[in-house]
Chain A
Amino acid sequence: MKEKFDAIVVGAGPAGNAAAYTLAKAGLSVLQIERGEYPGSKNVQGAILYSDALEKMIPDFREDAPLERHVIEQRQWVLSKDSYVGAHYRSDAFNHEPYNRYTIIRAQFDKWFSSKVREAGALVICETTVDHLIMDGEQVVGVQCDREHGDVYADVVILADGVNSVLARKAGFHGEIEAANVALAVKEILFMPEETIQERFNIGEEEGVVIEMIGSITDGMMGTGFLYTNKESLTIGVGCMLSDFKTSPNRTSPYAMLEQMKRHPSIAPLIAGGEMKEYCAHLIPEGGYRAVPKVAGNGWMIAGDSGGFVNAVHREGSNLAMTTGRVAAETYIEARAAGKPMTEATLRAYPEKLKNSFVMKDLHKYRDMPQIFHHNKQFFTTYPDLVNDAARTMLTVDGVDKKTKEKAVMSSFRKARGLPGMFGDAFKFWRAVR
């Protein structure tokens, strides 16, 4: 008995769900295969959801999606060992519907999204791993799963199997992922009563805060920390490039780093009393524009983290995943309607579409960021300390006049980086983000 579908989607994360949803809505026969016990079971983290990408598929998602809080305030902190300098942006505009960003708990969100996929008519199968792609010459014609009689066939296979896609590698679609192109992030969910969260973060019911941090917390490595408010828990985490962990002189482990971060005097009071609910570690592809592999071929397309579609600078991933998943699905739907064969020539329309969307435009904008930060660790070590020292100097009232203080600050910057160094850094930074 040979089962054949129009499309097979591997993975039930945001990318896979977006693809399967779009395909099923178009009335196609879709089989989605997820190796976890249920969609989201492998994704225990809390995260930020950007409405736009989801709204394009499910305009009324707010009605029943499990959303934690809408974000009304963003804090950017630069930390030294015992202090931080921060910029906070809070706007009442963020408090008007429709809200733009939400905190979510992925396990719940993915489950919800998957229920929509099923309602749309896709067949969703869990606890099943796709081991291989079935090839007919150059053409991908199906997948082989780890179950008895595990071969299933389809016109097209969309790989949305997340970062470090084993399948794509096995099939030779892209090489081994480089440690320098992937961040290892660890996260915890800390349980805390709703009222405590609202008091501590100065927010009302359903309102949320996001704190993004760089500096001493990453122990000299390239990385960032973050803290989000969920309904009755906090998500706290830190991520650094895998290559940095490997070469770290202090052999800092990600977990130790998170523990240390939780003890930081600026962070500890915010999370005090929080009871740990879940812990997880996960990779994030952060190679950016230059690390995106070939994403379409004969009978296959790659979407989401599997294709390296993550904007590390703005910590956007799920929205790129949903967008790429949807666009891949649309590419297939259009090609099919036009009666075209599912060859590489046809499916190349998918990366073309992405090029014209915010996905590739944003990744292109920050294309140099990874390299620059990689080779200039001062952005994570020297500067955070300097900025904090400067703030402390200026804000300590001790009889020294402000002019002298300013001089001292400037000289400390010069001493640490030298004038040309500072100009160079400023230029690199500008080049990276322009």
Chain B
Amino acid sequence: MHIVVCIKQVPDSAQIRVHPVTNTIMRQGVPAIVNPYDLFALEEALRLKDRFGGRVTVLCMGPPQAEDSLRKCVSFGADDAILVTDRAFAGADTLATSYALASAIRQIGREQAVDLVFTGKQTVDGDTAQVGPGIAKRLGLQLLTYVSRIVELDMDAKKIVIERRAEGGVQVLRTAVPCLITMLENTNELRFASMPSMINAARVPIRRWNKDDAGIEDIEKIGLKGSPTVVSKVFGPTPRTEKAEMLAVEESSLRDVSLNLIQRLFTRHPGLEQQLLERSDA
């Protein structure tokens, strides 16, 4: 079995700061990590490999330093890592990204046929959840988003049964392999890499593909050119001009503070009080 997992290197958004004056992102010093959601996809792929044997290839489109993220995936047990990197990809939105990744997966498939493609649910920087569906459509694969569990995989019959998170419940779906799965978070726990795998990961050559290696057929469809969306403005959230009304607390006056708050609250929002009263009447 051959599984491709798409991973993205993202800035650790927990550590991102916005320049208070210019309102630009201060990337300087912000560490780059593997998109946390993608690790659930990777782990699920590795579990399938443990059960069925085969190979896991990790694929990433990004700048040269994204190699670190791929190495990390290798340390967990991925067999092969490909970094698709080319200036021509710069400025890609989700449509252009999915085109590039789909081309690369097709190319990977020429070396060894691909049975499953995994992506994360979404990224923490782009945060769109659009790239997975985009790849599936371009490759003509069945799309399974928000998958919480793989119930059954029959590689002989080429059938897979999964559970998928839907609004208000879980859908149980059966489809044909190959297909594309976007994995839901917190569905599995990532393994801990052993020392030999760490050493192997530090050593392994990461394959770098430019746009030709990745089999891009139409360069009009990648990078900024292939991106229908145009970012026209980036700005910081408008700070609220009105500051919070502060109520001071010393232990003794807790009751007064509470009463004070309730009074101010209900004076400003009489409807709220009304609603509460109606509810307690009912």
Binding site for B on A (CB under 8 A): 1, 3, 31, 37-38, 41, 105, 107-108, 123-125, 128, 145, 147-152, 191, 193, 275, 277
Contact = CB atoms under 8 A, between A and B. Distances in A.
B194 A37 contact: no
A37 B68 CA distance: 12
A272 to B, nearest CB: 13
Given A38-B31, A125-B199, A148-B194, 19 more contacts: A3-B196, A3-B199, A37-B31, A105-B29, A107-B29, A123-B199, A123-B202, A125-B198, A147-B195, A148-B195, A150-B194, A150-B195, A151-B195, A152-B195, A152-B199, A191-B17, A191-B20, A193-B19, A277-B17
Nearest to A231: B28
B250 to A, nearest CB: 23
B206 to A, nearest CB: 12
Judged by DSSP, the binding face of A is mixed
B29 A147 contact: no
B235 interface: no
A148 B31 CA distance: 26
A149 B194 contact: yes
Contacts, number: 48
Nearest to B193: A147
A250 B105 CA distance: 66
B24 to A, nearest CB: 11
A147 B198 contact: yes
Interface of B: 17, 19-22, 26, 28-29, 31, 68, 192-196, 198-199, 202-203
A149 B198 CA distance: 11
A313 to B, nearest CB: 30
Contacts of B31: 37-38, 41
Of B31, B68, B199, B203, the most chain A CB neighbours within 10 A belong to: B199
A275 B22 CA distance: 14
12 contacts: A1-B196, A38-B31, A41-B31, A107-B29, A108-B29, A123-B199, A125-B198, A128-B198, A152-B199, A191-B19, A191-B26, A277-B17
B17 A149 contact: no
A193 B21 contact: yes
Contacts of B29: 105, 107-108
A149 B196 contact: yes
Contacts of B203: 123
A71 B28 CA distance: 21
A290 to B, nearest CB: 37
A125 B202 contact: yes
B85 to A, nearest CB: 16
Of A108, A123, A147, A191, the most chain B CB neighbours within 10 A belong to: A147
A31 B199 contact: yes
Nearest to A195: B21
A149 B195 contact: yes
A124 B199 CA distance: 8
Nearest to B194: A148
A275 B194 contact: no
Contacts of B21: 193
Contacts of A150: 194-195
A125 to B, nearest CB: 5
A126 B196 CA distance: 13
Contacts of A41: 31
Of A3, A125, A128, the most chain B CB neighbours within 10 A belong to: A125
A67 to B, nearest CB: 13
A277 B195 CA distance: 34
Contacts of B199: 3, 31, 123, 125, 152
Nearest to A273: B20
B68 to A, nearest CB: 8
Of B20, B21, B203, the most chain A CB neighbours within 10 A belong to: B21
A1 B196 CA distance: 8
Contacts of A151: 195
B219 to A, nearest CB: 30
Nearest to A38: B31
A191 B194 CA distance: 40
Contact of A128 (B19, B22, B68, B195): B195
Nearest to A125: B198
A31 B196 CA distance: 12
A277 B196 CA distance: 37
Contacts of A107: 29
A15 to B, nearest CB: 20
A193 B24 CA distance: 12
Given A108-B29, A193-B21, A277-B17, A124 B192 contact: no
A124 B202 contact: yes
